[in-house]
Amino acid sequence: MVSDSNRLIAGRYQLLRELGRGGMGVVWEGHDTLLNRQVAIKEVLLPDGLPPGDRERQMVRTVREARTAAKLSHPSVVAIYDVVEDGGRPWVVMELLPYPSVEQVVATSGALPAREAAEVGRQVLSALKAAHAAGILHRDVKPSNILLSDDGRAVLTDFGIATAEGEASLTRTGMVTGSPSFLAPERVRADDAGPPSDLWSLGATLYACMVGRSPFERGEPMATLNALLNEEPDYRRIPPILHPILRGLLRKEPQDRVDAEEADRLLAAIIAAKPAYADQDVPERKQGTGPGRALLAAAATVVLVLTGGTVAYFRTASPAEGAPRTAQPAAASSPLPSAATPSVSPAATPSETPTVTRTPTRGRVAPALRAWKSGDGWTIKRPAGWRGARGETYTEWTRRDGDAHLGVQALYVNLDPNQIIRDSEERLEQSADQIVSRGRRTVEHQGTTAVEWEVSWTAAAAATAGTATDEGWATPGIRYRELRRAVAVGDTAYLLSWTVPEAQWKRNRPLMREVLTSFNVRA
């Protein structure tokens, strides 16, 4: 289709460049020569050899799609400008949105923070309420059909299989449209499907914001549909504060699901929840978002989602300060999440048991180690007296003088230790100065092969960088030495990090080894 570039559609719309391609169409960046504005143009691809009757039905369906979506005027719904026929194919002219999608936010950089996921969910819910009030069902709510701006605006796209209630279906009898892992059970059973089916898909989408996939995805369509009909979601990796909304939306029977008003109330409660701290004496620090979002947003191409296809984007997050509490997502490629947005989900204070382990070093006595048990299934011995904080997927401890740091980050998308370390190197290059790599090596960790990277770096001044650094706890200008260890266990990978001022590296090395080797994932 590259040869179609600069082609004029319907004597008005100029094709500039292809933005994306899916199973049922191609999206182009275009120019409206009449109104002199940039637009997105969706070219609907019709299969070769399609009988004239089916071709006509597809044309009617495309016109209906445009007519359906054009009824809606809502900040979270992509605007439809026009629908035309050219070259025997339908073309839909839409608002051009320079935003990537939720799917790549998670796939590239890990889970959204609970509050941000709730914000996205609430905006999409508002769009669905407007659609439902107009008698329109979306029928394909999923992460790749939600675009995110860097200021938090979420836009629901691709009403390509939307239907108006009461309008006859144009699909073949028995044909199920939509993405299998995000379908509502009643649609799989071919029962009557109304607004609750879109709410189910919203619930599956919110779940995917946390773990990168639908709760029912099994890798094969029939296995996925069977899980959707007969299995319950696994909530062990979902922050507890999200459990009520997910359990309410993901009930098998539509009449048992929460309605839009109750869903909105539950999402609003997540957004308004206060962060919980265990160490109240920890001084408040300026929260940093890190450079990841801005850099990735700048690099992203303008995208629009296609029916049957996907396009997507970024996300960086940071751990909250305070004692370990609840999970805050960190970028899957981030070496050390930044000083973070506080977690919003309440959790029991973690059980810590002091040990009698003390390691003498050059006449000094190392601090006692305390065993800390995570609710996510791992344990570690951390130095007693260090201040802790926990986010949705990241846990950290900082020495009381603020110049030594221990971090444990859980990663659910990227499980390759070598790639995790490579991503870690790239991220550090963006947030620190005078980086000197001191070697990468393969080591054994609790019977599993792990990858270590030792590195020295100088903390950059946030004012110089123009943004907060990932190492939000570090003192600008201080030179640090750090060991990062990536290890994969089951369906989760972990990035462990130990950082101290370079001048203290040798005397802290025995303590570091004891701490890192103590990390264990319960079977």
Reading the chain (523 residues) residue by residue, the pLDDT tens digits are 444 667 899 999 999 998 877 656 788 999 999 999 999 998 887 766 778 777 777 777 777 767 777 778 899 998 888 888 888 778 889 889 888 899 987 887 788 889 999 999 999 999 999 999 988 888 889 998 999 988 889 999 877 545 544 443 333 333 344 578 999 999 988 888 899 999 999 999 999 999 889 999 988 888 999 999 999 999 888 999 999 999 999 999 999 999 999 999 999 999 998 654 322 232 333 333 333 444 344 334 333 333 333 332 222 333 333 334 333 333 333 333 333 333 333 333 334 433 334 444 444 444 588 888 887 789 999 998 898 887 767 889 999 888 899 999 988 766 889 989 988 888 888 889 999 999 999 999 988 899 999 999 999 875 343 333 456 788 899 999 999 999 998 878 899 999 999 999 999 999 999 999 999 997 5
pLDDT of 23: 57
* Predicted TM-score of the model (pTM): 0.54
Residues marked as catalytic: 140
Handedness of CA 183, 312, 9, 80 (dihedral sign): positive
Q: What is the pLDDT of residue 467?
A: 35
- Candidates 1, 36, 24, 25; CA nearest to 14 is 36
**pLDDT value of residue 139:** 86
Helix, coil or strand: residue 109 = helix
Token pair, residue 61, equals 């369906």
Query: ∠ at Cα 399 (394, 402), nearest 5°?
Result: 95
Integer Cα distance of 258 and 245 in angstroms: 8
How far apart (Å, rounded) are the C-alpha atoms in residues 211 and 112?
Answer: 9
Q: Which residue has the tokens 């296809």?
A: 309
What is the C-alpha separation between 322 and 327, in angstroms, rounded? 12
Query: What are the helix (H) ranges across 212-354?
Result: 221-230, 243-249, 260-272, 292-299
Cβ–Cβ under 8 Å, residues 58 and 172: no
pLDDT at 353: 39
For residue 101, the 8-state DSSP code is B
Domains of the chain (ranges; CATH) run 2-94 (3.30.200.20), 102-272 (1.10.510.10), 312-521 (3.40.1000.10)
The predicted structure's pLDDT at residue 276:
41
Rounded Cα distance between 24 and 4, Å, is: 17
Strand partners of residue 496:
408, 485
Q: Which two tokens stand for residue 151?
A: 């200021």
The C-alpha atoms of residue 486 and residue 291 are separated, in whole angstroms, by: 22
Q: What is the pLDDT of residue 335?
A: 32
Residues 6 or more apart whose CB falls under 8 angstroms from that of 127 comprise 72, 74, 76, 77, 155, 156
Nearest residue to 151 via CA among 202, 110, 109, 116:
116
Q: Where are the alpha helices (DSSP H) in 329-470?
A: 417-431, 462-465
Residue whose C-alpha is closest to residue 245's, from 269, 228, 227, 275: 269
Torsion angle defined by CA atoms of residues 122, 124, 128 and 131, in that order, rounded to the nearest 10 degrees: 130
Task: List the beta strands (DSSP E) in 74-170.
Answer: 80-86, 89-94, 136-137, 146-148, 154-156, 163-164
